[in-house]
Chain A
Amino acid sequence: MTSKYETEPKGYTMTTVMQEAARCLLCEDAPCSKACPAHTNPAKFIRSVRFRNVKGAAETIRENNALGAICARVCPTERYCESACTRAKIDGPIDIGGIQRYVTDMERKENMQILHAGKENGMNVAIIGSGPAGLQAAATLRQKGYGVDIYEKNAKAGGYLTYGIPEYRLPEAIVDYEVQRIVNLGSNIKYNVAVGKDITMDDLKAKYDAVIVAIGASAAKTIPMFEHNICTESAISFLARAKENKGKLDDLPDNVLVIGGGDVAMDVVTTLKKLGVTHVTDMVYEEFSEFKASKKELEGAQKEGVTIVDGYVPTDVRQNKVTFKHRKIDSEMTITADKIILAIGQKVDADGLNIDIQHNEIPFRKVRFHTKDPKVFATGDIVDGDKTVVYAVQKGKEVAEEIDRVLGGQDND
């Protein structure tokens, strides 16, 4: 039997997706489509479903979003398309993510090949990092006829899709499938190559017409007092181990303390619960009224029975004993746990790449995606804009367009 950790919620059937599509008002100049950061055009693909054209729906999604099956599962839709949905004025928004998942599931079952490589234009681009930004940039460039090599320091592609987002929300098989599509377009992924260590930036610049840095924020932030604490692990390290081992971790104790209150923290606590940890306590800096995690994620964690305490900051740690103080009221508590997981954010690790990073981003430039080096471009989480998969997708598209503009490849379109 597949474990709770490996089980994603059930998707729509042909009948139930039609019920949901029939709720859609088919709006004029649809606000949902305007609110999708990657222009996936939900109003159009929902209308296709309504008129029983699932293949057409799949084309709309795929042509706008090379990671459509992933976005369907992980997009914080309540902040994007669904927040704008007119239907919410009647009862609730259309479940756009759910419909998108149904369509892309059908696309997979039908083995549709929607994207095609463009005629080779003789120019080549190197992409550093195979997260969503790098993958989408590769897809767009291949459609325009550029040769694409992706350099990835890890053994698998996907960035946080593969090493972060838990299996029950985003099955590895889906990521592998989406990556394979992009490989099938003719992108070449070179695994286990860390640029700046195994190969230099100068090598890449010499060999390619342009270089895209899409390295994301792959290192964990920490708090000095936890730096040498042997009971402490970072959220992304824990989530990566859980995903790589399909949830089969044999070092899980019965009592885990998690610090942090964003979506990553919610993933950690929910994963712990799904893996059978009895006592999961989450200490959160923000109070509930100012909570960072999405409602959906928070509710998921609460449903699993996680103890969430809001408004506390850690003030002292001794081995496995952490003392917290409330930020506003006079209150202190000490928690003893068998393991501590820090989920307080990620930061960029651009060692050896010779690019400026300030506050985890490349400083804003007049022309977006350019770095100080005219041959080097940047995209994804390391440039301004939301730190989400769908934003990474859009930034991936846009950086490819920008390179195409600079290299004059538009003639090839």
Chain B
Amino acid sequence: MIKKDLSIDSLGVHFENPFCLSSSPVGNCYEMCKNAYDAGWGGIVYKTLSPDHFVIDEVSPRFSQLTKEDTPFVAFKNMEQLAEHPMAQDLADMRRLKKEYPDKVLIASIMGETPQDWTNLAKLVTEAGADMIELNFSCPQMTSHTMGSDVGTNPELCKTNCEAVKKGTNLPVLAKMTPNIMTMIPVVKACLEGGADGVSSINTVKSITDIDLDNKVALPSINGKSAVSGLSGKAVKPIALRFLQQIRSAAGLEQLPVSGIGGIETWEDAAEFILLGASTLQVTTAIMQYGYRIIDDLTNGLMHYMDEQGVDHLKDLVGIANKNILPTNQLDRDYKVYPKIDWDKCIGCGRCFISCQDGAHQAMGWDDDKRLPTFDKSKCVGCQLCALVCPVGAIKLGLVEMKPGRKGDPAKVDASTFQLPNAEN
């Protein structure tokens, strides 16, 4: 079996691998965290602790999901708030975990209401032995406006709270961002000014996944009523990646330590977050659906990827894709590339034809007798929609041509970087 060093250092803390449980029910007590560590997770962000005077009182049921065809959990909606145990118990659990697993990383997640709360909580979790503190500025379903994602959209409040935290601890501090905002940059900067050392991104996206069509209520229905609440899982990954890219491309934040979160399920998802600048990674939904054991393929798959890339240290991959992400107005618009059908693979389903007719530029035609697509180059704009819908990957990128009147050498267009998601080679 492949063996590669997946360890990485972030904010002075050594992670044996970058994979952590994100703060949520997956790391909610001693037993669960112990099992996760034993399964191979490198770190745990313990379920968010809040002051005992803020009463956590959860609803039931509290989850819903978005499906597509036969795929469950395309996205997952939850209405949970924070840890429900008495704080003393959680602190005792954390203390015990740190004692039994000194080499694993334990991150405490906290959320206060007043600056005083934040200072106190920081003190308590520092005493309990946490390696790092994550500030939850981003839970979208809190019952108080002075807590949760409303705070995370207000730079001033974030700064004040970070300052309060720093009074109670000298541990490294991550501020956890909400995606329910146009741009995170002002909030990130305010957190850093307040003393935070890095950020975690993202928390859940405000959502309604579905409506019970008979009872006319969103799901989950809590005694006939529901509420907007946080979405997580695979479908939020593109949103998480875009925020990550935005943070790490902002002037002055290029080296900011970020813990990447949102829809990570496979080693490929993980690698994407790393390439866009995450040095550690956090997961909840995939664990809720499949269990801690998914760590096996996250770590092993990432090792194989490093091997393929000829990389020995994970840190060498962090953020290296950002240079290839530009504003849309800076992209090369001088050429187009036509689709090329591999006739040995084509099974004559006609999907490319249907999509080009109804969703593109009517360049793909259809030969009724042969039951095969036909191609009219003069109409093709090179959008490659056809290639995306082909069920057997029979459509590849073919001829590259400069647009009329544009200068340039088609041979110099770097066709090796064209990759279609479903093209099997």
Chain A residues proximal to chain B, CB less than 8 Å: 15-16, 18-19, 21-22, 25-29, 31, 50, 86, 89-90
Q: Contact flags (1/0) for B335-361 with A, using CB distance below 8 Å?
A: 000000000000111110110000000
Determine if B31 is an interface residue (Cβ-Cβ < 8 Å). Answer: no
Cβ of A90 and Cβ of B69 under 8 Å apart?
no
Cβ of A28 and Cβ of B351 under 8 Å apart?
yes
Could you list 13 further interchain pairs (A-B, Cβ under 8 angstroms) beyond the known A28-B351, A29-B371, A86-B349? A16-B70, A21-B70, A22-B70, A26-B351, A27-B351, A28-B350, A28-B354, A29-B350, A29-B366, A31-B371, A50-B69, A89-B347, A90-B392
Chain B residues near A28 (CB, 8 Å)?
Answer: 349-351, 353-354, 366
12 example contacts (A-B, Cβ-Cβ < 8 A) are as follows A16-B70, A22-B69, A25-B347, A25-B391, A27-B348, A27-B349, A27-B350, A28-B366, A29-B366, A29-B368, A31-B371, A89-B348
In the bound assembly, the distance between CA atoms of A86 and B311 in angstroms comes to: 43
Chain B residues proximal to chain A, CB less than 8 Å: 69-70, 347-351, 353-354, 366, 368, 371, 391-392
Chain A residues near B349 (CB, 8 Å)?
Answer: 25-28, 86
Cβ of A86 and Cβ of B347 under 8 Å apart?
yes
> Which chain B residue shows the least CB distance to A50?
B69
**What is the predominant secondary structure among interface residues of chain B facing chain A?**
loop
Cβ of A18 and Cβ of B350 under 8 Å apart?
no
Measured CB to CB, the closest approach of chain B to A57, in angstroms, equals 15
Chain B residues near A86 (CB, 8 Å)?
Answer: 347-349
Chain A residues near B368 (CB, 8 Å)?
Answer: 29
Determine which residue in B70, B348, B353 has the highest number of CB atoms from chain A within 10 A of its CB, and name it: B70
Cβ of A25 and Cβ of B351 under 8 Å apart?
yes
Chain B residues near A22 (CB, 8 Å)?
Answer: 69-70
Cβ of A90 and Cβ of B70 under 8 Å apart?
no
Chain B residues near A16 (CB, 8 Å)?
Answer: 70
Measured CB to CB, the closest approach of chain A to B262, in angstroms, equals 26
Chain B residues near A26 (CB, 8 Å)?
Answer: 349, 351
Cβ of A19 and Cβ of B347 under 8 Å apart?
no
Cβ of B371 and Cβ of A19 under 8 Å apart?
no
Chain A residues near B350 (CB, 8 Å)?
Answer: 27-29
Measured CB to CB, the closest approach of chain A to B424, in angstroms, equals 12
Chain A residues near B347 (CB, 8 Å)?
Answer: 25, 86, 89-90
In the bound assembly, the distance between CA atoms of A22 and B368 in angstroms comes to: 25
In the bound assembly, the distance between CA atoms of A31 and B371 in angstroms comes to: 9
> Which chain B residue shows the least CB distance to A20?
B70
Chain B residues near A25 (CB, 8 Å)?
Answer: 347, 349, 351, 391
In the bound assembly, the distance between CA atoms of A183 and B392 in angstroms comes to: 47
In the bound assembly, the distance between CA atoms of A21 and B350 in angstroms comes to: 17
Cβ of B392 and Cβ of A21 under 8 Å apart?
no
> Which chain A residue shows the least CB distance to B366?
A28
> Which chain B residue shows the least CB distance to A89?
B347
Measured CB to CB, the closest approach of chain A to B367, in angstroms, equals 11
> Which chain A residue shows the least CB distance to B373?
A28
In the bound assembly, the distance between CA atoms of A18 and B70 in angstroms comes to: 5
> Which chain B residue shows the least CB distance to A22?
B69
Cβ of B70 and Cβ of A15 under 8 Å apart?
yes
In the bound assembly, the distance between CA atoms of A236 and B392 in angstroms comes to: 47
Chain A residues near B348 (CB, 8 Å)?
Answer: 27, 86, 89
Given A18-B69, A19-B70, residue A90 in contact with residue B354 (CB < 8 A): no
